[in-house]
Amino acid sequence: MVDRRRLRMRTAFPRTRPVSRPAEPEQRHGLAAWVRSTKVWVGTVVVAVLATLVTNGLLTVPGQLFNSEDAKDRLRQGPDFSVTVDFVHLDDEGRSGVTKDEFRPSAAQESLLARQGSAGTAAYTRLLHSIGAAGLDTLTLRVTLTGHRNQQIDIKDLQPLIVTRTAPLTGTLLCAPSQGDLSTMNMLIDMDRQFPVAHDVKFGGGPGAEGGASVEMGPPFFARRTVTLRDNEQQVLLIRAVTQRHYVAFRLEASYMLGSHEKKTVIDDHGKPFQVTALLSATGKASSYRSVYRLQQDFSMRRIDPHGGGLC
């Protein structure tokens, strides 16, 4: 007979078998392990180097491809630089002028001219300008330049643009000759030359020299230099135009660099050209002026006979 109690115990507690564990992979040793670790180290270094290059590239590329100062200048309104022109009479050139047509003064203008010391006043200078009188033999301009850009402006040339060149004017001569010595200026332009160019100024002779002191042409002004302007910086140029044979009306054209851009602008007398004329007697002309005002000992300006000779 089968022992039922032992059978029940075998059924309730079945006999277990030992579980076999999977075999652990063998660890790599020797050359294979060294190669694997070296690959990991090299990969880490390469990734770090690439990250550095990418980061630096992102920071520096805009500076190489995008000029921030140029962009700022494109947004700024107005001219690259402003120009103010003043007519000045230096000690060596007097305050003489000649009109195209005969000057017929009003009562107020006649009174101004006849006033003692009138030739040395600002009112007389304004009168010359208001009646359109050209400078006699010389014209001196004080040109003040003011920069208005973030980038530096380099003015590399100042070229006269001839509007008219004819025989000297024959209207009214207002003669107030020089009473002083030589004055300092930056540029000298001979308007009798076919292609006038701005030159340096050389002062020859002297008070004790034979013939007295003189102003002479030096080398071309812009041959060895430029005039630079930074933002809000000012430069002042004293420019003298001279003629001994002609009447010349002209403007000045400034050529300059703004960053890498070459540009030009024109300088004139509020839309009108500048004017300078030679004295008639210096050109050997037989014709005389229509009327003449000459400086008196009390520095007033009185009308004289235009055919009397010794006009100025």
Is it the case that residue 216 has pLDDT exceeding 90? no
Is it the case that residue 52 has pLDDT exceeding 80? no
* Mean pLDDT, rounded, for 275-293: 84
Is it the case that residue 59 has pLDDT exceeding 50? no
Distance CA 204, CA 132 (A): 33
Distance CA 98, CA 289 (A): 9
Q: Considering only residues 283 and 222, tell me which one the structure prediction assigns the higher pLDDT.
A: 222
Tens digit of pLDDT for each residue in 154-179? Answer: 999 999 999 999 999 999 999 998 87
Q: Considering only residues 36 and 66, tell me which one the structure prediction assigns the higher pLDDT.
A: 36
Distances in whole angstroms, Cα of residue 156 to Cα of each of 11, 153, 253, 254 = 113, 9, 11, 8
Note the pTM of the prediction, 2 decimals: 0.74
Is it the case that residue 284 has pLDDT exceeding 70? no
Tens digit of pLDDT for each residue in 13-37? Answer: 455 555 555 555 555 556 666 556 6
Distance CA 281, CA 312 (A): 9
Structure tokens at 2: 């089968």
Is it the case that residue 188 has pLDDT exceeding 60? yes
Query: How many helices (H) and strands (E) in the chain?
Result: 5, 16
Q: Considering only residues 41 and 238, tell me which one the structure prediction assigns the higher pLDDT.
A: 238
Q: What is the DSSP letter of 122?
A: H
Exposed e or buried b per residue across 101-118, where buried means at least 16 C-beta atoms within 10 angstroms of its C-beta: eebebeeeeeebbbbeeb
Q: Average pLDDT, whole number, for the chain?
A: 82
Q: Considering only residues 11 and 253, tell me which one the structure prediction assigns the higher pLDDT.
A: 253
Distance CA 155, CA 153 (A): 6
Amino acid at the residue 40: V
Indicate the helix (H) or strand (E) that contains 97.
strand 97-98
